[in-house]
A = this chain, B = another copy of it.
Amino acid sequence: MRDDPRARGGPRTTIVDVTSRIEIRGRDHEGGTPVSVEHRGRPRSEKSRLAVLKATAGLLVDGGYEDLTIEGIAASAGVGKQTIYRWWGSKASVVVEALAEGYLQAPLAAPADTGDLRGDLREWLLGLKAEIEAPEMSRLLQAIMSALTSASETSSAIHEALIQPIMSGLDARFGAHDAARPGELAAKPDFLAEAMGASLLLHVMFARPLTAEWIDQLLDLVVPRSP
């Protein structure tokens, strides 16, 4: 939510709530002048929505995706099950929205920029290594990956919310480097970003250790050693 001043009273679409419920009515039910109405009935409760996302995040972190249940979310959020089914429709959808709204802080923020591309990436990977090895974080990653693969519809949503940002961040760094020192990179920036991001993510998915040696090899591939 954060800085999103969504107007109250209007039914809103979530990331996954593709079929918008808003219908324009040309006319009221009994007589009167044609009015353009946006909705009738009680508006969606923003309070409940946030409670659901928050509860989901909490349960996910300490319990994993498999043990996460709609009933559990509802109970923990103090919300009726129907409210969840009305607006999300599946466990994965809720997780995706919680991710998108920042309730699940995935430990994969963009690398810093000190001007030294290789150094920055290296720092970033080493930081990730530390973060990922925390059991809480590893459970969260597992959970996100599960949400991903459990429902094909959410796959693109997660790709946008989680994968894309990483790729974009890397892409921007490679792009800037390429602009400053043309010809130094082995391939087009966006592609380097993908190769590096993919290697990293697959590594994380399979819970393989991010050794310093592996990191150096990865860097060798995508960015030339400083002369």
Main secondary structure of the interface of A (DSSP, over half): helix
- With a CB–CB cut-off of 8 A, which chain B residues contact A186? 186, 221
Question: Known: A194-B199, A195-B198, A202-B201. Is A221-B145 also a contact (CB below 8 A)?
Answer: no
Q: Which residues of B contact A99 (CB under 8 A)?
A: none
Contact A152 B198 (CB under 8 A): no
**What B residues does A146 contact at CB under 8 A?**
146, 149-150
Closest to A139 in B: B152
Asked whether, in the complex, the Cβ of A206 is within 8 Å of the Cβ of B150, the reply is no
B149 touches A145 (CB 8 A): yes
* Contact bitstring A186-219, B, C-beta under 8 A = 1, else 0: 1110011011111101110111100000000110
Closest beta carbon of chain B to A6's beta carbon, Å: 25
State the CA gap A220–B195 with chains docked (Å). Answer: 12
B residues in contact with A199, CB < 8 Å = 194-195, 198-199
Contact B156 A206 (CB under 8 A): yes
CB < 8 Å neighbour of A149 from B149, B188, B191, B220 = B149
**For A159, what are the chain B residues with a Cβ–Cβ distance below 8 Å?**
206, 208
Chain A 83-95 interface 0/1 with B at a Cβ cutoff of 8 Å (1 = within):
0000000000000
Supposing A149-B149, A201-B198, A202-B201 touch, asked if A221 and B191 sit within 8 A by C-beta, the answer is: yes
Tell me which residues across on chain B come within 8 A of A23, comparing CB atoms: none
Does A150 contact B66, Cβ atoms closer than 8 Å? yes
Determine how close the nearest CB of chain B comes to the CB of A163; give it in whole angstroms. Answer: 7
**Alpha-carbon distance between A155 and B202 when the two chains are bound, in angstroms:** 11
**Given A66-B151, A146-B146, 5 other A-B residues pairs in contact with their CB atoms under 8 A:** A148-B149, A155-B206, A192-B221, A195-B218, A199-B199
Residues of A that sit less than 8 Å from B by CB: 66, 142, 145-146, 148-152, 155-156, 159, 163, 186-188, 191-192, 194-199, 201-203, 205-208, 217-218, 220-221
